[in-house]
């Protein structure tokens, strides 16, 4: 096995299906930045996954590039992290097919996300939508990843990946490292501003529920001013997730944006109403995102730099993933190229 002193490998990806949200920034990307010193990190723009739902081609290209620029602007240093576009590394699709043949129909039928997406896209329940957990397993296993950063709601994907890897290893001997889900402890769940019982999501029916990293400051402010709270007037800004979910969500966001504790926030707004609190949260988020938005715009204007980042990323990702793919092809009995 490898040298014990080698860094552990982390693989994570986000579909370029829209702008980065406040939830994905606080729950994932902010934590990713801290990981690069301790781990070998691969970050993938999962464009192969995104076409299970119909995309406008020009929008998909634009969003992919915007997301790479936003990743870098959020602090992901391309010198320390491998940032690449999934479709630029053919090994993903190749291993995805092999793993399709080691993934059981029953396992795929039970995947919660397949049921959810089928309900939302009833006119386009395609084979890719059904088999994408096998492609996701390929994404992870190609890099012999130790850890996969996921939210609580995504653990099922890592579990099926482990099942597929164990099944393959059981037939052919040790081929894949078995990954573990890596659930960040801080800020993992940011809830919708309009329905605080639900996670903040791009698919929120009410567009005011979700805040985007690259949104205009005035739009961010408008959404926070409309955020759902409650009818309390006395000591209304206090943390109580069960009884005051809207306020608790805003406090969690304010805390993440400013570094203040809940006790400090309660003291700051003691005797003040939501009319003072909600704009203050909005302001804090605007200031948190201002440098990211400005840097993203600067990077998007420098097309040759962005191209150099994703090409270098694909080259490194291709080198590492092809080592795994060659091993798999040999084990299943394919003739060497």
Asked if residues 52 and 128 have their Cβ atoms less than 8 Å apart, the reply is yes
Question: 239-273 burial by CB neighbour count: b if 16+ within 10 A, else e?
Answer: beeeebbbbbbbbbbbbbbbebeeeebeeebeeee
Report d(CA 287, CA 282) in Å as an integer.
9
Within 10 Å of residue 14's Cβ, how many Cβ atoms? Answer: 19
Question: Is 201 assigned to a binding site?
Answer: yes
Question: Is 151 assigned to a binding site?
Answer: yes
Question: Is 153 assigned to a binding site?
Answer: yes
Question: Is 291 assigned to a binding site?
Answer: no
Nearest to 152 by CA among 182, 121, 118: 182
Asked if residues 200 and 191 have their Cβ atoms less than 8 Å apart, the reply is yes
Question: Is 36 assigned to a binding site?
Answer: no
Within 10 Å of residue 196's Cβ, how many Cβ atoms? Answer: 23
Question: Is 139 assigned to a binding site?
Answer: yes
Query: How long, in residues, is the chain?
Result: 337
CA distances from 36 to 10, 43, 208 (A): 9, 11, 33
Question: Is 204 assigned to a binding site?
Answer: no
CA distances from 298 to 63, 72, 220 (A): 16, 11, 21
Enumerate the active-site residues: 117, 199, 202
Question: Is 216 assigned to a binding site?
Answer: no
Question: Is 231 assigned to a binding site?
Answer: no
Q: Residue ranges for the binding site for L-tryptophan? A: 139
Q: Residue ranges for the binding site? A: 15-17, 139, 151-153, 190, 199-203
Q: Residue ranges for the binding site for ATP? A: 15-17, 151-153, 190, 199-203
């Amino acid at each position: 096995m490898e040298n014990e002193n080698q860094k552990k490998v982390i693989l994570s990806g986000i579909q370029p299906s829209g702008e980065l949200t406040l939830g994905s920034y606080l729950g994932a990307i902010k934590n990713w930045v801290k990981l690069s010193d301790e781990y070998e990190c691969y970050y993938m723009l999962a464009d192969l996954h995104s076409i299970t739902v119909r995309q406008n081609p020009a929008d998909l290209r634009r969003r992919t590039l915007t997301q790479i620029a936003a990743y870098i602007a959020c602090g992901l240093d391309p010198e320390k992290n491998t940032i690449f576009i999934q479709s630029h590394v053919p090994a993903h699709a190749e291993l995805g097919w092999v793993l399709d043949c080691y993934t059981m129909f029953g396992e795929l039928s039970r995947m919660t996300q397949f049921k959810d997406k089928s309900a939302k896209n009833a006119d386009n329940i395609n084979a890719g939508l059904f088999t994408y957990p096998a492609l996701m397993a390929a994404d992870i296993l190609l890099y012999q990843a130790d850890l996969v950063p996921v939210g609580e709601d995504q653990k099922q994907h890592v579990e099926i990946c482990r099942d597929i890897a164990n099944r393959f290893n059981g037939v052919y001997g040790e081929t894949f490292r078995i990954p573990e889900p890596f659930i960040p402890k801080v800020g993992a769940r940011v809830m919708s501003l309009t329905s605080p019982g639900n996670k903040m999501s791009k698919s929120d029916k009410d567009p005011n529920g979700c805040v985007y990293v690259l949104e205009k400051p005035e739009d961010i402010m408008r959404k926070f001013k409309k955020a759902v709270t409650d009818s309390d007037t006395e000591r209304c800004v206090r943390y109580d997730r069960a009884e005051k979910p809207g306020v608790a969500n805003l406090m969690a966001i304010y805390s993440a944006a400013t570094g203040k504790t809940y006790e400090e926030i309660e003291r700051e707004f003691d005797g003040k109403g939501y009319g003072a609190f909600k704009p203050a949260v909005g302001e804090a988020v605007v200031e948190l995102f201002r440098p990211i938005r400005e840097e993203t715009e600067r990077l998007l204007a420098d097309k040759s730099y962005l191209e150099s980042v994703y090409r270098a990323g694909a080259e490194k990702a291709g080198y590492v993933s092809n080592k795994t793919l060659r091993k798999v092809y040999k084990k299943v009995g394919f003739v060497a190229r």
